[in-house]
Amino acid sequence: MVTCHACQEHIPRLLRGILSPALVAELGSHLGGCEACQMELAEEQALSRRLRDVARYPSPAHLRARIAQQLEGRTWTGIPRLVTWRWLAASAVVLLAVAASALVLTRRDPLRTFIPEATRNHREMVMQHELFGFPDVGPWGSAELPRLLSERLGLPVTSLFLGDSELVLMAARPLLVRDRKGMVLLYADRHGWVSSLLLVSAPDIEVPKGSRLQFGTFRPYHTQTDSLRVLVWKQEEMACFLVAQAGDQQLADLFLKIRRAM
Amino acid sequence: MTTPEPEFERLVLEHLDGLYNLARWLTRNMDEAQDLVQETALKALKARDQFRGGTTLTAWLYRILRNSFIDRYWKRQREPSGQEGDLPGVLGELEQALEETEIEHLRPLVAADINRALKALPEQWRTTVLLAEVEGLTWEEVAEVMGCPLGTVQSRIFRARRVLRQLLKDYAPEGKGEE
ipTM of the complex: 0.77
Clarify whether residues A103 and A218 are in a common domain. Answer: no
The SS3 assignment for A238 reads strand
Chain B: residue whose CA lies nearest to A67:
B38
The CATH number linked to B131 is 1.10.10.10
Clarify whether residues A203 and A100 are in a common domain. Answer: no
- Amino acid (1-letter code) at residue B54: G
Looking at the 3D structure of chain B, how many domains does it have? 2
Q: Is B139 on the interface with A (CB under 8 A)?
A: yes
CB-side neighbour CA atoms (13 Å) of B158 = 17
Clarify whether residues A24 and A72 are in a common domain. Answer: no
CA B90 to chain centre: 11
The boundaries of the domain holding residue A136 are: 114-260
Closest C-alpha among A37, A62, A258 to residue A131: A37
The CATH number linked to B22 is 1.10.1740.10
Clarify whether residues A173 and A250 are in a common domain. Answer: yes
Clarify whether residues B93 and B125 are in a common domain. Answer: yes
- Determine, yes or no, domain membership for B137: yes
- What contacts A141, CB < 8 A, 6 or more positions away? none
* pLDDT at residue A169, rounded to an integer: 84
- Amino acid (1-letter code) at residue B2: T
Chain B from 46 to 105: CB within 8 A of any A CB: none
Judge: A50–B114 Cβ closer than 8 Å, yes or no: yes
Clarify whether residues A188 and A66 are in a common domain. Answer: no
Looking at the 3D structure of chain A, how many domains does it have? 3
Clarify whether residues A165 and A256 are in a common domain. Answer: yes
- What is the Cα–Cα distance from A87 to A100, expressed in whole angstroms? 20
* pLDDT at residue A74, rounded to an integer: 43
pLDDT tens over chain B, length 179 residues? 556 667 788 888 888 889 999 998 888 888 889 999 999 999 998 888 888 766 788 999 999 999 999 888 777 766 655 444 445 444 444 445 455 556 556 555 555 678 888 888 888 899 999 999 888 889 999 999 999 899 999 999 998 998 888 888 755 444 443 33
* pLDDT at residue A84, rounded to an integer: 45
Chain B: residue whose CA lies nearest to A15:
B133
Nearest to A109 among B17, B33, B134 (CB): B17
- Determine, yes or no, domain membership for A246: yes
Interfacial residues of A (vs B; Cβ cutoff 8 Å)? 9, 12-13, 16, 18, 43-44, 46-51, 53-60, 63-64, 66-68, 70-72, 105-106, 109, 111-112, 115-116, 119-120, 175-176, 208, 225-226
- Determine, yes or no, domain membership for B42: yes
* pLDDT at residue A105, rounded to an integer: 43
The CATH number linked to A227 is 3.30.200.100
- Determine, yes or no, domain membership for A183: yes
Q: Report the gap between the CA of A164 and the closest CA in chain B (Å).
A: 31
Clarify whether residues B13 and B74 are in a common domain. Answer: yes
Q: Name which of A71, A121, A223 to mutate to probe chain B: the one with the most chain B Cβ atoms within 10 A of its Cβ.
A: A71
- What is the Cα–Cα distance from A62 to B52, expressed in whole angstroms? 30
Clarify whether residues B69 and B113 are in a common domain. Answer: no
Clarify whether residues A155 and A215 are in a common domain. Answer: yes
The boundaries of the domain holding residue B18 are: 5-78
Domain boundary among B29, B55, B78: B78
Clarify whether residues A189 and A89 are in a common domain. Answer: no
**Residue A66: its chain B contacts at CB < 8 A?**
34, 38
Chain B: residue whose CA lies nearest to A9:
B158
- Determine, yes or no, domain membership for A56: no
Element (DSSP H or E) covering residue A241: strand A238-244
Nearest to B20 among A18, A63, A175 (CB): A63
Clarify whether residues B58 and B96 are in a common domain. Answer: no
Clarify whether residues A231 and A153 are in a common domain. Answer: yes
Judge: A46–B177 Cβ closer than 8 Å, yes or no: yes
Judge: A71–B34 Cβ closer than 8 Å, yes or no: no
Q: Report the gap between the CA of B54 and the closest CA in chain A (Å).
A: 14
**Residue A112: its chain B contacts at CB < 8 A?**
17-18, 21, 135-136
Closest C-alpha among A141, A248, A146, A132 to residue A197: A146
pLDDT tens over chain A, length 262 residues? 789 999 988 888 888 888 888 888 888 889 988 999 999 999 898 888 888 778 778 888 788 888 877 776 644 443 333 344 455 565 566 556 555 544 444 444 555 678 888 888 888 887 777 776 654 555 556 777 888 888 888 888 888 888 888 888 888 888 888 778 888 888 887 776 789 999 998 877 778 777 888 888 889 988 887 678 899 999 888 899 999 988 888 889 999 999 999 8
Clarify whether residues A141 and A252 are in a common domain. Answer: yes
Judge: B13–A46 Cβ closer than 8 Å, yes or no: no
